[in-house]
Amino acid sequence: MLDYTNFNNKLNSWKRKPIFWIILLFIWPFFLLWWLGLWSINDIKKKRSHAPWYKIKGTYGLIFIALFLLIEASPNHSSSNSNQTSSEISSSSTSENSEASQSKSISIAAETSSRAEVASIEAASSSQAKARSDAEKSSSESAALSSSISASSASNSESIVQSSRIAASQAQASSEATQQANTDTSTVTTQTADSNNINSTDRYKWAIQDGFTWETRKGHSTRIAPGKALPVGYHWQVQ
């Protein structure tokens, strides 16, 4: 007969060993049933002499063990375990498929992102090249316009200088012509004055001192012979 007290003492000594817990990790359901069965039998032995069976706790422990074994041995439980195993396998397969699909989605997303990044880089490069080309074109147009403006300014300046030279030469020619005309006029005037101051007649002419008249000529007049000049300060008397 099993000594329950001795068994508990040995169990307490086994608990101090690591191997006990390693074994218990795999067989703990059976160990619990075995321990419950031993406790139930020991309880029935102690109390059956002074208590009916339905008042003994060990009786219900044995009933629980019997029901548990019957349930485990039933076909429904086996099919349930089989279904559970199939469900676990299906769940595992679904999980694997989901992981594969997720991995594929991540790969596709990464590839799409890479393509988008490459397209963005190409677009940026194209935009920079176009901007550089536009800047160079604008610079060349500005240079051409500046050159044209410079040439036009130089041409205008040359035209202005040439016009100024022509105007200056024309002014000089006009001035020379004016001076020549004045000289000619002076010459003519001088000649006219000289001819007016000469007695060009064939007879004597009266010359009266300036400031006097014919009536007051006495002492202030003289007769000029033909071909002689009019004295300074005198004028001809016109009769």
Asked whether residue 60 is assigned to any structural domain, the reply reads yes
Q: How many domains does the chain have?
A: 2
Phi, psi of 206 (to 5 degrees): -80, 135
- pLDDT of residue 139 exceeding 80, the answer is no
Asked whether residue 87 is assigned to any structural domain, the reply reads no
Q: What is the mean pLDDT of residues 161-183?
A: 76
Asked whether residue 17 is assigned to any structural domain, the reply reads yes
| pLDDT score, position 22 | 80
Mean pLDDT of the chain: 75
Residue where a domain terminates, one of 37, 52, 73: 73
Range of the domain at 68: 4-73
The secondary structure of the chain as a DSSP string is ---HHHHHHHHHHHTTSHHHHHHHHHHHHHHHHHHHHHHHHHHHHHHTTTS-GGG-HHHHHHHHHHHHHHHHHSHHHHHHHHHHHHHHHHHHHHHHHHHHHHHHHHHHHHHHHHHHHHHHHHHHHHHHHHHHHHHHHHHHHHHHHHHHHHHHHHHHHHHHHHHHHHHHHHHHHHHHHHHHHHHHHHHHHHHHHHHHHB--SSS-EEEEETT--STT-TTSEEEE-TTPBPPTTEEEPP-
| pLDDT score, position 113 | 72
Asked whether residue 217 is assigned to any structural domain, the reply reads yes
Asked whether residue 39 is assigned to any structural domain, the reply reads yes
Asked whether residue 175 is assigned to any structural domain, the reply reads no
- pLDDT of residue 210 exceeding 80, the answer is yes
> Which range is least confidently modeled, 140-154, 194-208, 210-224?
140-154
* pTM for this entry: 0.26
CA distance 103 to 93: 15
CA distance 54 to 75: 30
Q: What is the mean pLDDT of residues 59-72?
A: 83
Residue where a domain terminates, one of 56, 73, 90: 73
Asked whether residue 126 is assigned to any structural domain, the reply reads no
The tens digit of pLDDT for each residue in 13-57 reads 877 888 877 877 777 777 778 778 878 888 888 887 888 877 888
Residue where a domain terminates, one of 55, 73, 91: 73
Asked whether residue 187 is assigned to any structural domain, the reply reads no
